[in-house]
């Protein structure tokens, strides 16, 4: 089993969805973002929540990742939110589809006007480029290089053998370093579940054996909900262990302190969903698990658990099991070098470790 030993430190980064607005409605978008959406975070809430983020445990959170929708949809709001976060001592990254980079010159001017942005993630794939000219991705890459802004590129595909995907990678390799390109298996949820008429996914009888990096950074939604990752679980209407709380009910410090001792969340960070699926199988819950999994997509494997009430109930039970809590507490210390959960467990067990 592949165990995390190069994980991102827990809570090093927190995501903030600032808008559901986007100038395009990509067919793979799990948020269902688009021109028709009006929901966005208010400036008052963004400032309040950013202050809570920067103040959590004396600077535990280093980076704020602004996402959407399309954060560049409203440049004035993006500038105000990123500048406030910068003033609060946070590094600021932004996820964008580069629609704004119609020319290299304009792209440079826009980036210069957003001086508080420290890093940019550019989404570039067949889905985006069906509406956004690839030249704009090239212009954005050239602009971030000229402005000396760290960047990386996210490329989604249903299948690594897909011709569109391979051709796009070829073009990206001409303008971007290979190490800065991150490929992701498209999630068949949200709008993708509605639009994909002939999916090209490869499937496997066993779930991917890999840890989950995404669950190291919770995401805050415009309605105040805090979820342990920004994968397909956000489309679920039902409760699951990665719903961490809501800022309209509790302050962020309470929500994040509780997340520190969430054994399901940290099991995903250490082992990935394969460990929990294996445990569910051993508990006799095979009939509640899928017969096959999307190859290379730990998010899909995780969704298969969290969308099934029987498995969610099982996970809720083992999350209270002292033996499981002990396992995850000390695995987190051993593999990730993170002591807080082990210290919390020791305080519960009276320092005996039993």
Instruction: Please tell me the least confidently modeled range out of 7-11, 45-49, 85-89, 307-311.
Output: 7-11
- pLDDT recorded at residue 28: 82
For the stretch 48-97, pLDDT in tens is 999 999 999 989 999 999 999 999 999 999 999 999 999 999 999 999 99
The pLDDT value given to residue 187: 72
Q: Residue 19 pLDDT > 50, yes or no?
A: yes
Residue from 349, 185, 330, 324 nearest 241 by CA: 324
d(CA 226, CA 258): 12
**Do the strands 225-227 and 243-246 form a parallel or antiparallel pair, or are they unpaired?**
antiparallel
Considering only CA atoms, give the Rg of the chain.
20
7/319: higher pLDDT: 319
pLDDT, tens digit (0-9, with 9 covering 90-100), for 249-273: 999 999 999 999 999 999 999 999 9
CB atoms within 10 A of CB 106: 14
Q: Report whether pLDDT(4) > 50.
A: no
In this structure, the chain runs to a length of: 354
Give the three-class secondary structure for 124.
Answer: coil
pTM over 0.85: yes
Mean pLDDT value of segment 164-183? 94
Q: Give the helix/strand (H/E) hosting 256.
A: helix 252-260
When pLDDT is averaged across residues 316-341 and rounded to a whole number, the result is: 94
Q: Helix or strand or coil: residue 43? A: helix
Question: Which domains does the chain possess?
Answer: 13-201 (3.20.20.70)
- Name 152's bridge partners: 121
- In the prediction, which pLDDT does 10 show? 95
Mean residue pLDDT of the chain comes to: 91
For residue 38, what pLDDT band results from cuts at 50, 70 and 90?
A: very high
d(CA 101, CA 292): 41
Task: Find out whether 172 and 181 touch, Cβ atoms under 8 Å.
Answer: yes
Neighbour tally for 251: CB within 10 Å: 15
Q: What is the pLDDT of residue 142?
A: 97
305/33 Cα distance (integer angstroms): 25
pLDDT at 5 over 90: no
Average pLDDT over residues 233-246: 92
Closest CA to 247 of 5, 2, 13, 14: 14
Binned at pLDDT 50, 70 and 90, residue 280 comes out as: very high
């Amino acid at each position: 089993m592949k165990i995390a030993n190069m994980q991102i430190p827990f809570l090093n980064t927190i995501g903030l969805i600032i808008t559901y607005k986007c100038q395009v409605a990509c067919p793979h978008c799990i948020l269902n973002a688009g021109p028709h959406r009006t929901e966005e975070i208010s400036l008052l809430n963004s400032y309040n929540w950013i202050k809570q983020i920067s103040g959590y445990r004396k600077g535990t959170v280093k980076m704020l990742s602004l996402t959407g929708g399309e954060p560049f949809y409203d440049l004035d709001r993006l500038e105000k939110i990123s500048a406030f976060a910068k003033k609060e001592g946070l590094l600021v990254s932004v996820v964008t589809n580069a629609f704004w980079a119609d020319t290299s010159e304009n792209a440079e001017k826009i980036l210069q006007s957003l001086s508080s942005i420290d890093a940019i993630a550019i989404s570039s794939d067949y889905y985006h480029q069906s509406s956004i000219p690839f030249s704009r991705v090239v212009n954005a890459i050239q602009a971030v290089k000229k402005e000396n802004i760290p960047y990386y590129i996210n490329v989604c595909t249903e299948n690594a053998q897909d011709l569109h995907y391979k051709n796009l990678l070829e073009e990206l390799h001409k303008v971007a370093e290979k190490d800065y390109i991150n490929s992701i298996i498209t999630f068949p949820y949200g709008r993708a579940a509605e639009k994909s008429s002939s999916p090209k996914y490869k499937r496997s009888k066993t779930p991917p054996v890999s840890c989950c990096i995404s669950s190291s950074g919770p995401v805050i939604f415009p309605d105040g909900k805090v979820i342990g990752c920004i994968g397909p679980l956000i489309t679920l209407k039902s409760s699951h262990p990665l719903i961490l709380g809501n800022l309209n009910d509790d302050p962020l410090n309470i929500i994040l302190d509780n997340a520190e001792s969430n054994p399901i969340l940290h099991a995903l960070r250490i082992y990935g969903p394969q460990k929990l699926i294996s445990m569910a199988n051993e508990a006799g819950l095979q009939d509640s698990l899928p017969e096959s999994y999307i190859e290379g997509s730990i998010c899909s494997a995780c969704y298969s658990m969290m969308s099934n009430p029987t498995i969610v109930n099982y996970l809720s039970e083992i999350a209270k099991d002292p033996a499981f809590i002990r396992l995850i507490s000390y695995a987190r210390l051993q593999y990730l070098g993170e002591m807080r959960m082990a210290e919390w467990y020791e305080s519960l067990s009276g320092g005996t470790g039993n």
